[in-house]
């Protein structure tokens, strides 16, 4: 059975919801930023009550169109404060959103047992050692260190397979690995360093990923994070992430229909309810066929 932490995912399990708490003031969606203990605690409780299955904590924004690099010490301080606060008020499993081995180790030391690495374990060479020591569940994103050409769906599968291999060689069983097509992280140019260079249109790439999720899964549970992202803003001609809720919900439901098993979102309650309806209708349609 596939699991992230203690939660069964994929196969015939219900679609899971992962709420986002950013302890990073530089994050692109400011309403997702929670740096004070009282605010973090309130948000975590709201997420649990709203139907979240996990809470994903990040201490540094990795938005490719922003220059958001912070010292590792700062990232550790941020996530430590957030994780400690969440654990006092919620029983939800916590995942750590980082590509730095030192940050991951600090989170695992606090009892976190899920790693969400936007670089697919390819940024920090010491991450393998941390995986070997703590054996967490792992979410690997499609990520390439060189420019990616050709069919983007095929290339995403190759990049994800590379990351799955890194994880399994580090002692992580496939039953505890989920994949993420990395919506928003493939660009021709960017200000940040956590992105994959492509020589094609990034908007088309993101849309192609969503339309082809079933073929990208590689037999693993698939997580997708589309909430408030740039492709939604581009399609709606809306620069303000705060005004992209309805577009986010539409993209999340389409993702579920196309095979997503976990939705990472800023909008836990709304996403949870929308998924519940979509799954019920999808199940009814299958029974009628």
pLDDT in tens, 211-234: 999 999 999 999 999 999 999 999
> How many domains does the chain divide into?
1
Instruction: Give yes or no for a contact between 179 and 220, defined as CB atoms under 8 angstroms apart.
Output: yes
Give yes or no for residue 286 having a pLDDT over 60.
no
Task: Determine the pLDDT at residue 192.
Answer: 75
pLDDT (tens digit per residue) in 112-166: 999 999 999 999 999 999 999 999 999 999 999 888 889 999 999 999 999 999 9
Among the residue ranges 64-78, 107-121, 125-139, 260-274, the one predicted with the least confidence is 64-78
Q: How far is CA 152 from the centre of its chain?
A: 19
What CA–CA distance (Å, rounded) separates 233 from 277? Answer: 25
C-alpha to C-alpha distance for 98 and 141, rounded to whole angstroms = 11
Q: Specify whether the CB–CB gap between 227 and 266 falls below 8 A.
A: yes
Domain with residue 96: its CATH number is 3.20.20.20
pLDDT at 91 over 70: yes
pLDDT one-digit tens code per residue, 10-47 = 998 999 999 999 998 888 887 888 989 999 999 999 99
Residue 264 sits in which domain range?
Answer: 3-288
CA 53 from centre of chain: 13
Q: Pick the residue with more confidence: 69 or 15?
A: 15
């Amino acid at each position: 059975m596939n699991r992230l932490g203690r939660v069964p995912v994929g196969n015939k399990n219900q679609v899971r919801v992962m709420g986002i708490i950013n302890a990073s003031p530089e994050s692109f969606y400011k309403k997702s930023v929670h740096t004070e203990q009282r605010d973090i605690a309130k948000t975590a409780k709201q997420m649990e009550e709203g139907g979240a299955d996990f809470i994903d904590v990040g201490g540094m924004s990795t938005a490719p169109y922003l220059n958001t690099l912070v010292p590792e010490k700062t990232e550790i301080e941020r996530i430590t404060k957030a994780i400690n606060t969440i654990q006092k008020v919620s029983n939800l499993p916590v995942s750590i959103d980082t590509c730095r081995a030192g940050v991951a180790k600090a989170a695992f030391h606090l009892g976190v047992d899920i790693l969400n690495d936007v670089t697919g374990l390819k940024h920090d060479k010491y991450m393998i050692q941390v995986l070997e020591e703590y054996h967490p569940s792992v979410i690997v994103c499609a990520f390439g260190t060189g420019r990616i050409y050709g069919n983007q769906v095929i290339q995403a599968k190759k990049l994800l397979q590379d990351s799955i291999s890194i994880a399994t060689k580090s002692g992580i069983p496939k039953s505890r690995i989920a994949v993420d097509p990395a919506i928003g992280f493939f660009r021709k140019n960017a200000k940040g360093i956590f992105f994959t260079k492509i020589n094609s249109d990034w908007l088309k790439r993101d849309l192609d990923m969503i339309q082809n999720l079933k073929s990208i899964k590689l037999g693993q549970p698939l997580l997708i994070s589309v909430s408030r992202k740039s492709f939604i803003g581009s399609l709606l001609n809306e620069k303000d992430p705060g005004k992209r809720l309805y577009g986010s919900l539409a993209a999340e439901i389409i993702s579920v229909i196309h095979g997503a098993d976990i939705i990472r979102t800023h909008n836990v309650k709304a996403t949870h309810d929308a998924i519940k309806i979509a799954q019920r209708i999808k199940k009814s349609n299958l029974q009628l066929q």
